[in-house]
Structure 1
Amino acid sequence: MVSLICTLRDHRDDINWCAFSPKLLATCSSDKTIRIYFTQDFSELAFSPLTGHGYGVHCCCFSPCGQYLASCSTDATTVVWSMDTGDIVTVFEHPGRSPVRVCVFSPDASLVSGASDGTLALWDFQSKTLRRTGASTEASIVACSFAPCGQMFATGSTYGDIRLWDLELNSFQAVKNAHDLGVTSCHFSPKIQEDGHMSQFRLASCGQDSQLKIWLVSRHTTAGCKVQLLHTLVGQSAPVLSCAFSADGQLLVSGSVDKTVTVYDANQGALLYTLNHHERYVTACAFSPVTSLIATGSMDKTVNVWRVDDGISGLGDEGKSLPAESSNDENVARMRNLSTTGRKLLGHSRLLVCDWSEEDVLAWLCAEGLEALVSTFKANNIDGGELICLTKETLAAELNIDSVGLRNKVMRKIEELKMTLVCTGVPDELLCPITREVMKDPVIAADGYSYEREAIESWINSKNRSSPMTNLPLQTTVVTPNRTLKMAIGRWKSSQ
């Protein structure tokens, strides 16, 4: 049976991806953050959330050893983070500055990123350099997975094709129209079947055609590669957005626009379970590499964690209630000492930080464990408007906060505060699709969507004039003021 054991409710926007390491779970969101949890009790790490991206985060993945996490974003970067400290190790800027939709580590810790313009980049993580680039089609690359041998990987695009690549970024096999209307996800089974001079792998893919497919990829040392369709699974009634194999390759999970999560017997292609606990599209799913846990993410802003086993009842979805298992792992113990003991919720009723008084700021400092700074902030008359404009430089030069660690903590808390108080409870149509913040000067672009003027003008200047929402070329770069929306935003602010 499959039991729901906890629900994580920390993100403020759509969940786009989930990823496991042996000890951690990472989730990323359109709210521009990545959150990291222990898999023993799903408490959040002290340095979570990670806030280095300027736009929504599409994908995240752990390195093979679990020591690093990579994440990619509409901001055209792939960022690698240390899982010891939460610090940024390196930032890879995608060639052409196109939005990066997917990233994946190889078994030997190389890193591949795929972008909206159909290009691929292979990065050497150790030397932090770009090894080579490749191109598929003009369609966006939205799916990528390495074979367990590490010598090839698969990509899926919005054109619907699946391609196999070697490490020289040569496409040596393609399945045209694998999914009508586009591929949304693909994942290699971790298991290899070897027979003499031939290696076989199973590859799962899903797409806008509401189908989940299992392929057999056979690679012969002399006869090349062959891709054969084994199963077409139709257990969901709407586009299937994500899929993942279990660590032993026996199970396959998928998430769909119909709000369901399905679990299949990967060998027989038989539907085993249909799970119905999400309220909106299920956009992400992942199996733990070492336990029988599944994580599923949704546009309802939650991540559900499930256990696949027999005879264990679910603990409900009222919080992070998974009991901790005993462990002697010194690294886990060390990291647990860094974890937060519980997050206090702010009592302020106003959503905009710029409206806060000096007293509100002081109360926020106390709620976040920054009592040591109360006298400093009070002496400098810091209100909400000044709070959100603080930088590491002003903290050091003007507020005389000498501790680098304390300055970093303050900035992380400020970024989290802005994201939380601006996004929570705000009608989605008042938020800029790029910044996910309430618009001040909304304009209409050629794609018909409304954006913050500064954000869309910056986008046009650096993103090859493609639409942030559709990835299609903008017919004109002229933007038109949206006065009706600006008045609606003004009325909404007055009502808060």
Structure 2
Amino acid sequence: MVKLIHTLADHSDDVSCCAFSSSLLATCSLDKTIRLYSLSDFIELPHSPLKFHTYAVHCCCFSPSGHILASCSTDGTTVLWSAHSGQPLMVMEQPGGSPVRVCCYSPDPTYLASGAADGSVVLWNAQSYKLYRCGTVKDGSLVACAFSPEGNLLVTGSSSGDLTVWDDRMRFLHTEKAHDLGITCCAFSPQPLSGGEQGLQFYRLASCGQDYEIKLWVVSFTRVLGLELKYKSTLRGHCAPVLTCAFSHDGQMLVSGSVDKSVIVYDMGTHSVLHTLTQHTRYVTTCAFAPNTLLLATGSMDKTVNIWQFDLETPCQGSMNDQLKQLIEDWSEEDVSTWLRDQGLEDLIGIFQMNNIDGKELLHLTKESLAGDLKIESLGLRSKVLRSIEELRTREDSLSSGIPDEFICPITRELMKDPVIASDGYSYEREAMENWIHKKKRTSPMTNLVLPSLILTPNRTLKMAINRWQEIHQK
């Protein structure tokens, strides 16, 4: 279970961001200040609040050591502070003076990234305080950024909805339209999904946006073979734009905050909703997990920051966590009702119960049966149900086979033997993709968009990872 253990109400305007070090919590606000609290008792430090910015403070983050705090503002600056004394150490001005919306440290303390409203992203040398490299996204403001766990990739998100991936020298690698109405936040899970050898690890990335959705991606990268950004699934539950998301330190949970005033905690093993927290009275703008402990901070336009404590000894009630340990085909009608509720489809529970839809029937539903047998008239609602069912089918395959999902061909749903990268950025079994192109011409199996090229590139990195997994798990 999770319980509210403290509420901080010191800011005089909207709380825009909160961040943890191992011993401190920092919060910043449109009131132009940053406040610091001790994690031992949540008492504000004597040198808090920190005042320097002349306009709203949008983001703050600690260096990996926790000794330095960075903050950025509408005033076009990113300021570095001593976390222990509160003294400003350096003021770094964004080229062009555009309002700075977001900042983040690399996992080692070498670099600090800052993103601005004019679409510029700057990589600062955090030791010399000098500008190292900079880049610009094609459209929109820079509103989100996150370093990969190894620090070799930087992902930025824009108000136009694009995720852009850069290497650690600010060289452009890839861009992807992720959210039609604009991205609001992105975050890497700190734990790799699979692999182990250097260059053969896969990482989970979450993004959220104005379209009410949280999307999960798998990112793989080597300097020899390049990058792959692959869409995996969508988490639903909010009924309004999602403004923030963050992973727990062990990668097992993801938290999100929304315009609907709620905070949702998801189980990353099952993609189910663990908790829905509704204590904030206005938009939830920020959330952050503490490193190494299960403390959660959530901030809001209600000017407060709530501190939550997770109790791992108490089983989670009202979630799908236990139910998803069994195969979905074995779900009862009540399990299906719980799943519908977790997907934000409560209005369909009566229809599904009336038609005795259990797990086996759920997995066999089609657009024809939804419209004809269940009489669901709304095309959008039918599409949402079908997308959620497709995610369940994917999860069923993974649960029953034990194969990491990134090793399964999206077309055949079988372990890939000869993976290739198509021009849509996704990996497929070569034979399956060649047959698809022959039958479907130039469309992508994942996006249904026209493929810019029919060239298939061998994904040697993925093939090596699959071979290594087989050696370990299929002896």
Q: TM-score, normalised by structure 2?
A: 0.64
1-structure distance, mates of 2:122, 2:77: 11
The aligned residue for residue 285 of structure 1 is: 287
Q: Which whole-Å deviations, capped at 9, do the CAs of 1:337-367 have from their partners, x for residues lacking one?
A: xxxxxxxxxxxxxxxxxxxxxxxxxxxxxxx
Q: What is the identity, as a one-letter code, of the residue corresponding to 1:187?
A: A
- 1:161 has 2:181 as partner: no
2-structure distance, mates of 1:309, 1:147: 28
Q: Tell me how far 1:225 sits from its aligned partner.
A: 1.1
The aligned residue for residue 111 of structure 1 is: 112
- 1:102 has 2:102 as partner: yes
2-structure distance, mates of 1:107, 1:212: 24
1-structure distance, mates of 2:220, 2:271: 19
Aligned match of 1:212 in 211, 214, 226?
214
- 1:180 has 2:145 as partner: no
Q: Which whole-Å deviations, capped at 9, do the CAs of 1:61-81 have from their partners, x for residues lacking one?
A: 000000000000000000000
Q: Which whole-Å deviations, capped at 9, do the CAs of 1:305-324 have from their partners, x for residues lacking one?
A: 001114689xxxxxxxxxxx
Matches within 5 A, 1:40-439: 40-109=40-109, 110-176=111-177, 178-192=178-192, 193-196=194-197, 197-310=199-312
User: Aligned with 2:201: secondary structure?
Assistant: strand
1-structure distance, mates of 2:204, 2:314: 30
Q: Is the 8 A contact 1:3 1:312 kept in 2?
A: no
1-structure distance, mates of 2:222, 2:151: 15
Q: Is the 8 A contact 1:246 1:252 kept in 2?
A: yes
1-structure distance, mates of 2:138, 2:28: 27
1-structure distance, mates of 2:265, 2:174: 29
Q: What is the identity, as a one-letter code, of the residue corresponding to 1:5?
A: I
Q: Is the 8 A contact 2:37 2:44 kept in 1?
A: yes
User: Aligned with 2:37: secondary structure?
Assistant: strand
User: Aligned with 1:96: secondary structure?
Assistant: helix
2-structure distance, mates of 1:4, 1:59: 24
Q: Tell me how far 1:89 sits from its aligned partner.
A: 0.5
User: Aligned with 2:51: secondary structure?
Assistant: coil
Q: Which whole-Å deviations, capped at 9, do the CAs of 1:256-300 have from their partners, x for residues lacking one?
A: 000000000123211111000000000000000121100000000
Q: Is the 8 A contact 2:216 2:234 kept in 1?
A: yes
2-structure distance, mates of 1:301, 1:220: 43
Q: Which whole-Å deviations, capped at 9, do the CAs of 1:445-492 have from their partners, x for residues lacking one?
A: xxxxxxxxxxxxxxxxxxxxxxxxxxxxxxxxxxxxxxxxxxxxxxxx
2-structure distance, mates of 1:165, 1:64: 21
2-structure distance, mates of 1:157, 1:182: 7
Q: What is the identity, as a one-letter code, of the residue corresponding to 1:213?
A: K
2-structure distance, mates of 1:27, 1:14: 11
Q: Tell me how far 1:136 sits from its aligned partner.
A: 0.9
2-structure distance, mates of 1:91, 1:194: 40
The number of aligned residues is 312
Q: Tell me how far 1:179 sits from its aligned partner.
A: 0.7
Q: Which runs of 5+ in 2 are unaligned?
A: 316-475
Q: What is the identity, as a one-letter code, of the residue corresponding to 1:54?
A: T
The aligned residue for residue 427 of structure 1 is: none
Q: Which runs of 5+ in 1 are unaligned?
A: 314-496
Q: Is the 8 A contact 1:284 1:298 kept in 2?
A: yes
2-structure distance, mates of 1:27, 1:84: 15
Q: Which runs of 4+ in 1 moved over 3 A?
A: 310-313
Q: What is the identity, as a one-letter code, of the residue corresponding to 2:99?
A: P
Q: Is the 8 A contact 1:198 1:221 kept in 2?
A: no
Q: Tell me how far 1:108 sits from its aligned partner.
A: 2.1
Q: Tell me how far 1:220 sits from its aligned partner.
A: 3.5
Q: Tell me how far 1:133 sits from its aligned partner.
A: 1.3
1-structure distance, mates of 2:3, 2:299: 16
2-structure distance, mates of 1:164, 1:133: 13
Q: TM-score, normalised by structure 1?
A: 0.62
2-structure distance, mates of 1:66, 1:249: 20
Matched-pair identity in %: 55
Q: What is the identity, as a one-letter code, of the residue corresponding to 2:296?
A: I
Q: Tell me how far 1:223 sits from its aligned partner.
A: 2.2
Q: What is the identity, as a one-letter code, of the residue corresponding to 1:229?
A: Y
Assess, with a 3 A threshold, how the Cα gap between structure 1 residues 90 and 170 changes in structure 2: closer, same or farther: same
Q: Is the 8 A contact 1:199 1:220 kept in 2?
A: no
User: Aligned with 1:198: secondary structure?
Assistant: coil
Q: Is the 8 A contact 1:246 1:288 kept in 2?
A: yes
Moved more, 26-35 or 197-206: 197-206
1-structure distance, mates of 2:61, 2:44: 17
